[in-house]
Amino acid sequence: MAFKSLDELRAVCLDLPVGSDPAADAVSRRQDTLTKPRGSLGKLESIAAWLARWQGRDMPRLDRVKVIVFAGNHGVTAQGVSAYPSEVTVQMVANFAGGGAAINQLARLAGAELSVIPLDLNHPTGDFTQTVAMNEAEFLAAVSTGYESVDEDLDLICFGEMGIGNTTPAAAIAAGLFGGTGRDWAGRGTGVDDSGLSRKFAAIDAGLARHAATLADPLAVAANLGGRELAAILGATLAARHRNVPVLLDGFVVTAAAAPLAKLHPEGLAHTLSAHVSAEAGHRQLLEALKLAPLLDLGMRLGEGSGACLAVNIVRSALECHARMASFAEAGVTDK
């Protein structure tokens, strides 16, 4: 879908399909018959039900799992908010293509396809301390790219990102949506020193002040303070909802990118699970604001979809137990 206006995009964000209660209930009923005390597999049981609900299948499947990494560059890096130059984004995209990044290894082990989508890397977004990050046309183009990247026959999807400086727009979006200042949301990202961290705080506060009149509109927040890869993640998360594909959210940047959907619709992220809480300052607070409980807490802060890809293995474990365990009757085990 190529969105032609913010109003059209907003309408699609507000018109979200609901999950299948009958499918989730079927999973719960089967779980109660399996050779284990009821509820003893904890979150694995609820994960299986979540898969069923959002796939709309009594017996979920994970035949086709995909990781999509979106890459973009950011004009706000002119404010000295990153420890690395913007050309590293292009270099890392090449590394993904060559199979040399962490996400390449994790996707292979998880049995997931990997796709990398660069978004106009030669043209960074505007410096949001001086202007909008993206005008309406640029924002809608990035959202549309993300929306169109999600295939209808997927069983589970993870989103990742690569963009030098992108923890700054992610923190700015979080502050714009949920209140607070740069100091409340920004962390060290790729490893800025104390002076760099102070510059991040200042850049975010300057952006919030410049765009204060539009902070009540989640889509305007995403356009004015975000980035192309974040906008694409928003579009892809929206497409997954409309195409019955459950989503594993990665770290701080991906969660911030998807957060406008939750501000627009109270159940906007119901089809997602938080894969992990990252070590990046602000992520735990953002998950709490969104009422999302992370599956993992491994101190990771890489991005690339790495935490989400690790969590694919947990989801696969949940489904294997659900689909392959014997019932009490099948195993000839006495149920109390």
* Residues labelled catalytic: 304
User: Using CA atoms, how far apart are residues 109 and 224, in angstroms rounded to an integer?
Assistant: 37
> What tokens appear for 21 in the block?
């209660």
- State the amino acid at position 205 in one-letter form: D
- Non-local (6+) Cβ contacts of 93 within 8 A are 71, 116, 118, 121, 162
Contact 280, 299 (CB under 8 A): no
Residue 301 phi, psi dihedral angles, 5° rounding = -150, 35
What is the secondary structure of 209-265 as a DSSP string? HHTGGGTT-HHHHHHHH--HHHHHHHHHHHHHHHTT--EEE-SHHHHHHHHHHHHHS
Calculate ∠ Cα 232-236-240, nearest 5°: 175
Calculate ∠ Cα 13-150-90, nearest 5°: 105
Helix 252-264 and helix 228-242: axis angle, to 10°? 60
